[in-house]
Structure 1
């Protein structure tokens, strides 16, 4: 598993202290909800820029204290620490954040819409990490489960509802 700390990806510091979260029912999977440049799958530097832009939008546009996600996963099987384990996310919806951690997969509504195998493997790594370090329970749901949205998109949602199977290209088994 490859995880970038907030320092490694150049995250801004949060505007305020996080609310502690010791245990959840599980995780909710998200997507960007807009265009994701397909070049992101080839150029990891674009992943870093995308995560920074999402953090800026959440802090400056939404007025949140930080990026809303617990972890962000890119197509290179790299996990970016967002709010991290043990901290309340902001991305699941009002009144829904204490039940599940929030994991963002860097795919969107156009451009890169189909999650590459390494992104799916990275999400599975992120789930394992949140279970081990944050008390995440067994549930794996899409953002739309409990909140009126198309998130996490059809491709990720189909993967979730089919039981989040490990991609067959996984050579780390």
Structure 2
């Protein structure tokens, strides 16, 4: 497991997936969205994460990522992933994999 810098405050407790494109006004290509659902299902299965805990970058940081259109498609993504996992999306609070050390801020936050 590698810790990266995909989302401030989430880097040691979340898995980041980058989707090529901005998707502010257009949907991702069908094949790309299907592959994203396959990848998310694999990750959810591997780490025991329910599909309901799939979030967009903007849920945690001030950003347009993953774009307005793709963000609006997250409920469909959760449903597609849940189907691939053989269930329906349960309602739950976010729970992230905890097998990485905590993020260490690079500088002291302002007082």
Q: TM-score, normalised by structure 2?
A: 0.58
Gaps of at least 5 residues in structure 2 are: 81-111
Correspondent of 1:101 among 15, 30, 34: 15
Q: Deviations over 1:111-138 (max 9, x none)?
A: x9420111111111111221233x1512
Partners of 2:22 and 2:67 within 8 A in 1: yes
Q: Do structure 1's residue 124 and structure 2's residue 37 form an aligned pair?
A: yes
Relative to its length, the structure with more helix (as a share) is 2
* Aligned residue pairs, count: 77
Q: Which runs of 4+ in 1 moved over 4 A?
A: none
- How far apart, in 2, do the equivalents of 1:151 and 1:136 lie? 25
Relative to its length, the structure with more strand (as a share) is 1
Report 1 or 2 for greater relative contact order, CA contacts < 8 Å, sequence distance ≥ 6.
Answer: 2
Gaps of at least 5 residues in structure 1 are: 1-85, 167-173
- How far apart, in 2, do the equivalents of 1:152 and 1:113 lie? 11
- Report what 1:73 is aligned to: none
**Compared CA separation, residues 113 and 89, structure 1 to 2 (3 A):** farther
Q: CA deviation at 1:109?
A: 5.7
Q: Deviations over 1:57-83 (max 9, x none)?
A: xxxxxxxxxxxxxxxxxxxxxxxxxxx
Q: How does 1:30-45 map to 2 (within 5 A)?
A: none
Q: TM-score, normalised by structure 1?
A: 0.39
- How far apart, in 2, do the equivalents of 1:157 and 1:130 lie? 19
